[in-house]
């Protein structure tokens, strides 16, 4: 039967249909059907053709995978069935009413017509983020991406000498004058020279007597070119950024120069010429600003993390070269490898160091002593550059992880033969190894042999799968987001351990099962899809989910950086729009589905 007036009102309260004008909503309602299901009745089974989108009006719907594992429990205003419709595949899940339920059935043709007519509805059902230009110049960057937040300020009655002292202490060229009414003026070093020094003015006088009153300003939504043109036309070097009457930032000529010069290539070039760790640390201090700029410019998450990791790789290789300059040439061939996020080329704004050394089997005890000194030199330098010592001591400075090749072979053989909890943990870390500097041939055969042995050992693989699902996506009942319950990050989502790492773990399992050599998570998923370990639709779902979660993580960190805070991985979901929360939940459901498929031994081909 057609929808009743109360159900039209209900539909109007459900996102994204709440964005429709009333005539469009009435037309949509006229094409939908209200259907009742009794408790225990199946809506559709895995493998069936789904011809409608379902919206829960009342009751509860359980979604399970083909192993019978519950993926989510849906209540009023939740929808389901769109995966099969949009992928044009048979259903990969089963939907069952666990209590008497009323559903709205929206035929697929009606949904597709609505998506074509309404961009907002289309965006809602497309988990992929819209592509944005990868340009990183002043023509595309908004002022809020360029400006320095929390600029130095003082009151109009502040003495000139005190304002000058503050500017000197902060090593900046301007101070903004504000009071309760908002922005009143600006005082620059040029003002000090021209109005105080040159004219021998009284430095005890208030800054209001020499400030530039009512300076030219822009809003945070202006473009970088607006700032540049204003500076060029008016001959100024500082543009305060105001929102309403409030001062929110400032852009200087130095900021514009930095944006035009700041790129991963520039930083890599400066690091490669650095004379010591201190010089490199001055360069790596610019990484947070680079990350925020890359995010603001709309780069893909895997591009951003690759560029950030390239800088860490360059720092490592430069430190290795400096170590050999200091200690003398290496006595035998060696290979420095990274694991963890650097190994996977997935570094963000929060990274410690995870590394090891593989030495030639010709290494003597005296040679190992040399490499212990080399490891200390490099790890200390990495720490000075912001890549902090690993809390778990997974570093080449630990004698356990600075060994000849035959010892490394025995490590991997032992982990595979006896996969106890420690072996599972170590194998998870060491299967993400990537050569950084030295003789790469020391690792190639080891990788090939280890993948072959690991993939053949079903007990080891089963233990690795069990270990991998310890990181679970944060899903609660009724398809809600399960936040951290206590502590410093209460009511937040951990986008690392419960967001990205479950997918990292899945990628590692696929690599083991398929003997795939890529270490980067996205590359592993693509290789697994190509090798047939992941179906076309399953792989596309997981890649979309990974991109969305990883992108949200980077956007969260970029927002913290721009606010002057240290970046972390803890997101308050209340900061997300309804659109973002809905699709983040969908992404977590995809991850949980894949975990269930892998743990049941059925893969992800269904």
Using one digit for the tens of pLDDT, what is the confidence trace for 38-69? 999 999 988 888 889 999 999 988 888 776 76
Both 267 and 235 in one domain: the answer is no
| pTM for the full predicted model | 0.72
CA 244 to chain CA centroid, nearest Å? 32
327 plus 384 within the same structural domain? yes
CATH number of the structural domain spanning residue 164: 3.10.580.10
Residue 335's pLDDT is what? 97
Is 344 within a domain?
A: yes
Whole-number Å distance between alpha carbons of 336 and 439: 8
The pair of three-digit structure tokens given for residue 306, joined into one six-digit string: 């690759």
Cβ(56)–Cβ(75) below 8 Å: yes
Tell the residue number behind the tokens 């500076």, with chain if given.
231
Q: What is the tens place of the pLDDT at every residue in 276-324? A: 999 999 999 999 989 998 888 778 899 899 889 989 999 999 999 999 9
Asked if 557 and 567 count as a contact pair (C-beta separation under 8 A), the reply is yes
Q: In what order do the strands lie in the sheet with 42-44?
A: 42-44, 94-97, 61-64, 70-74
- If asked whether residues 494 and 593 sit together in one domain, one would say yes
The rounded distance, in Å, linking the Cα atoms of 271 and 79 is 51
Residue 347 sits in the same domain as residue 413:
yes
Q: What is the pLDDT of residues 571-600, one digit of tens each?
A: 999 888 777 888 898 899 889 889 988 887
- CATH code at 9? 2.60.120.10
Q: Are residues 291 and 268 in the same domain?
A: yes
Domain boundary among 227, 251, 275: 251
In the predicted model, what is the mean pLDDT of residues 529-536?
90
How many domains does the chain fold into? 4
Give the CATH number for residue 514.
1.20.120
Strand order in the sheet with 153-154: 153-154, 174-179, 182-188, 212-213
* pLDDT at residue 262, as a whole number: 67
Higher-pLDDT residue of 480 and 133 is 480
Same domain, 411 and 436: yes
Strand, helix or coil for residue 51: coil
In a domain, 604, yes or no: no
Say whether 246 sits in a helix, a strand or coil. Answer: strand
Domain boundary among 433, 466, 499: 466
382-399 residue pLDDT tens = 999 999 999 999 999 999
Residues 447 and 384 in one domain: yes
The per-residue pLDDT for 126 is 67
Residue ending a domain, choose from 251, 281, 301: 251
Q: Yes or no: say if 208 and 176 are a contact pair by the CB < 8 Å rule.
A: no
CB 279 within 8 A of CB 400: no
Has residue 136 been placed in a domain?
no
Helices 301-327, 277-284: inter-axial angle, 10-degree rounding: 170
Residue 275, domain member (yes or no): yes
CB-based burial label for 267 (10 Å; 0-12, 13-18, 19+): buried
The H-or-E segment that residue 338 falls in is strand 334-338
Which residue has 């721009």 as its token pair? 562
Segments forming the whole domain that contains residue 456: 263-466
The answer to whether residues 459 and 473 belong to one domain is no
CATH of the domain at 322: 3.30.460.10
Query: In terms of domains, do 440 and 500 share one?
Result: no
Domain shared by 238 and 372, yes or no = no
Residues 541, 433: Cα–Cα separation, whole Å: 27
Tens of pLDDT, residues 126-153: 654 444 444 456 666 788 888 888 899 9
Tell me, yes or no, whether 594 lies in a domain.
yes
The answer to whether position 375 is within a domain reads yes
Identify the burial level of 253 via C-beta atoms within 10 angstroms of its C-beta, where 0-12 means exposed, 13-18 middle and 19 or more buried: middle
Q: How far is CA 535 from the centre of its chain?
A: 25
Radius of gyration for the alpha carbons in the chain, expressed in angstroms and rounded: 29
Residue 130 falls within a domain, yes or no? Answer: no
What is the share, in percent, of the chain residues with pLDDT greater than 70?
Answer: 93
Residues 238 and 274 in one domain: no
The answer to whether the CB of 348 falls within 8 A of the CB of 386 is no
| Residue 135 included in any domain | no
Which whole-number Å values give the CA distances from 153 to 202, 227, 243, 585, in the listed order? Answer: 21, 21, 16, 43
The angle, 0 to 180 degrees and rounded to 10, between the axes of the packed helices 536-562 and 501-514 is 140
Are residue 174 and residue 278 in the same domain, yes or no? Answer: no
């Amino acid at each position: 039967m057609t929808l009743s007036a109360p159900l039209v009102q209900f539909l109007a309260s459900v996102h994204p249909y709440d964005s429709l004008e009333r005539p469009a909503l009435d037309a949509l309602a006229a094409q939908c059907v209200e259907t009742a299901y009794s408790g225990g009745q199946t809506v559709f089974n895995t493998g069936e053709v789904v011809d409608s989108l379902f919206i829960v009006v009342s009751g509860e719907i359980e979604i399970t995978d083909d192993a019978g594992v519950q993926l989510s429990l849906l209540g009023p205003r939740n929808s389901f069935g769109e995966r099969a419709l949009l992928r044009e595949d048979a259903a990969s899940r089963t939907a069952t009413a666990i209590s008497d339920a009323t559903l709205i059935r929206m035929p697929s043709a009606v949904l597709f017509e609505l998506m074509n007519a309404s961009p907002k509805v289309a965006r809602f059902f497309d988990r992929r983020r819209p592509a944005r230009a990868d340009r990183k110049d002043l023509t595309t960057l908004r002022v809020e991406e360029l400006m320095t937040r929390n600029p130095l300020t003082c009151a109009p009655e502040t003495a000139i000498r005190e304002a000058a002292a503050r500017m000197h202490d902060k090593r900046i060229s301007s101070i903004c004058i504000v009071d309760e009414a908002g922005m009143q003026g600006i005082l620059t070093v040029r003002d000090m020279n021209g109005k105080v020094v040159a004219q021998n003015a009284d430095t005890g006088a208030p800054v209001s007597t020499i400030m530039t009153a009512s300076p030219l300003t822009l809003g945070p939504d202006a473009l970088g070119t607006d700032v540049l043109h204003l500076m060029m036309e008016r001959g100024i070097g500082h543009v305060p950024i105001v929102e309403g009457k409030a001062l929110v930032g400032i852009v200087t000529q130095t900021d514009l120069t930095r944006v035009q010069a700041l790129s991963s290539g520039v930083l890599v070039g400066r690091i490669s010429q650095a004379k010591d760790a201190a010089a490199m640390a001055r360069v790596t201090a610019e990484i947070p600003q680079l990350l925020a700029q890359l995010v603001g410019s709309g780069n893909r998450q895997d591009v951003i993390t690759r560029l950030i990791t390239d800088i860490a790789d360059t720092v490592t290789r430069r430190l290795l070269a400096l170590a050999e300059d200091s200690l003398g040439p290496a006595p035998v061939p060696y290979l420095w490898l990274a694991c963890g996020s650097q190994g996977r080329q997935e570094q963000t704004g929060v990274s410690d160091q995870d590394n090891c050394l593989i030495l030639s089997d010709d290494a003597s005890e005296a040679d190992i002593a040399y490499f212990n000194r080399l490891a200390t030199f490099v790890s200390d330098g990495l720490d000075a550059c912001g890549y902090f010592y690993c809390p778990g001591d997974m570093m080449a400075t630990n004698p356990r992880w600075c060994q000849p090749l035959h010892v490394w072979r025995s490590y991997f053989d032992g982990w595979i033969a006896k996969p106890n909890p420690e072996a599972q943990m170590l194998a998870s870390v060491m299967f993400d190894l990537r050569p950084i500097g030295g003789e790469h041939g020391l690792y190639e055969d080891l990788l090939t042999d280890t993948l072959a042995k690991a993939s053949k050992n079903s007990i080891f693989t089963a233990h690795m799968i069990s270990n991998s699902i310890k990181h679970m996506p944060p899903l609660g009942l009724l398809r809600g987001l399960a936040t951290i319950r206590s502590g410093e990050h209460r009511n937040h989502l951990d986008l690392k351990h419960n967001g990205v790492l479950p997918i990292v773990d899945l990628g590692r399992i696929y690599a083991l099962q398929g003997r795939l050599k890529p270490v980067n998570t996205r590359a592993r998923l693509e290789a697994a899809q190509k090798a047939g370990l992941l179906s076309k639709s399953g792989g596309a779902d997981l890649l979309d989910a990974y991109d969305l979660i990883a992108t949200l993580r980077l956007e969260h960190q970029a927002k913290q950086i721009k606010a002057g805070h240290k970046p972390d991985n803890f997101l308050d979901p209340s900061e997300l729009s309804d659109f973002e929360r809905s699709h983040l939940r969908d992404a977590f459901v995809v991850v949980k589905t894949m975990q269930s498929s892998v743990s049941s031994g059925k893969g992800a081909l269904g």
